Amino acid sequence: MSFLNCSRSREKVCSPSGSPPYDQEKYFHKQSDVLAVGSSHSSGCDFPKIMLEYGNEPLQYDIFTTIGKGYNDAATISVARHVASGHNVAIRQIDLDHPNIDMAALQQEITYCRLLNHESILPYYTSFVHNNEVWTVMPLMAYGSCRDLMHAYFTSGLPEQAIAYILRDVISALEYIHSRGVIHRSVRASHVLISASGRVCLTGLRSACHLFEHGKWKRSMFVYPENPQKLLCWLSPEILEQNLLGYDTRSDMYSVGILACELANGYAPFTDMSPTQMLLEKISGTKPVLADSTTIGRLTSDENVANSDGPEDSGVDIASGSDQKKSSLAYAYSRTFSAQFHELVELCLEKDPNRRPTATMALSHPFFKNLRKKSASMLPSLLQPVTPLLDASKLPKEDSAVDDMAEGMEDLHFDEDWEF
């Protein structure tokens, strides 16, 4: 089945009280033992291996069909073909007249995507203004986002090995941007895209911020994200607290822990809680867990559901949970995640940011020890039976779709005028 068959949507430091819960000598190995990072056009990917000139004129692209929305419905994402090269691309068209558009955030995202160059960060081929729209041309990630995959088929969560490859590439991207003094602040399944060959790319840099000010590297950041409503589940406790200690790059590692639970369970923790309850749970030290046969007892305990006021709570409100969550919990009885996976998630979700591993340390964790160097060599087979979008020419063109709709509208009769 193709991911396009499903309903698509694009959502848009304090001092440690004790020693860190990880052994640096145990987990931190030589750089050669960790995933090697290269340029954004490394071998083994399905992006163009030679530099192509992507033009800044709409006529240079054949747009086929719309596959998603973004930027609070201000943006439309479409599948298209670059006429000169014949390569499939994705085009995002942002309506500058839309009331929800944030020009500063848009400019910042485009700037970051041009400055950051890593194989696991989604590149932008070109951006230009046409009429009242900003067009951004980027590679077509034919599997869509991890959130799309869970909506399409993996409703109870992805296989553990697939999650391992995805998390490794995401953490590798974070290691790179953290070394540049950038904090992502929006690591979640909808911002993790997968290409037809299995290449994993992190996107969503609209919420990113940098630790540089007046040419100096700041130890902590104190700026709260703009419009954080859709990010609350993934934001770290120290960001939500907004105290004088601030936060740093390790806040992204907390988001990685939430992402791991989201990919494994099929839903993000805290999603059924009010913002106030979520804030209290995170500040009190609540640690979400992977739902499997070893944790299902705690997840389904009536006592924990009724008295979710301590660190033993799992971040899952079962009583008010959706059908998807209840189905995932039922499936949890038949699966058991590895001890290394549980340990990595627990480390990332430490309330004290100084007790979390950095991105570099996380890449050396035993959970990633037996993975191949390139995710593309394994990931597509792990995502079966979902199939990527390989031939965009089979999709209906936007113009023909509009013409067909117009012809159908001519046969309709309305007793009242439409109101706009």
DSSP string, 330-353: HHHTT----HHHHHHHHHHT-SSG
Domains and CATH numbers, the chain: 22-37+143-382 (1.10.510.10), 58-141+389-395 (3.30.200.20)
Q: Is 27 in contact with 340 (CB distance < 8 Å)?
A: no
DSSP secondary structure string, 392-416? GGGSPPHHHHHHHHHHHHHT---SS
C-alpha–C-alpha distance, residues 9 and 69, integer Å: 6
> CA-CA distances (angstroms) from residue 270 to 241, 282, 336?
16, 9, 22
Q: Is 79 in contact with 395 (CB distance < 8 Å)?
A: yes
Determine how many CB atoms are found less than 10 A away from the CB of residue 68.
Answer: 18
Residues of the chain with pLDDT under 70: 1-51, 299-328, 391-420
Structure tokens at 192: 């993790």
pLDDT of residue 49: 53
pTM higher than 0.95 for the full model? no
pLDDT of residue 413: 42
User: Terminus-to-terminus CA distance in the chain, angstroms?
Assistant: 38
> Distance from CA of residue 420 to its chain's centroid?
35
Looking at 25-172, which runs of residues are DSSP E strands?
61-70, 75-82, 88-95, 126-130, 133-139, 144-145
C-alpha–C-alpha distance, residues 273 and 233, integer Å: 9
pLDDT of residue 392: 63
C-alpha–C-alpha distance, residues 43 and 399, integer Å: 36
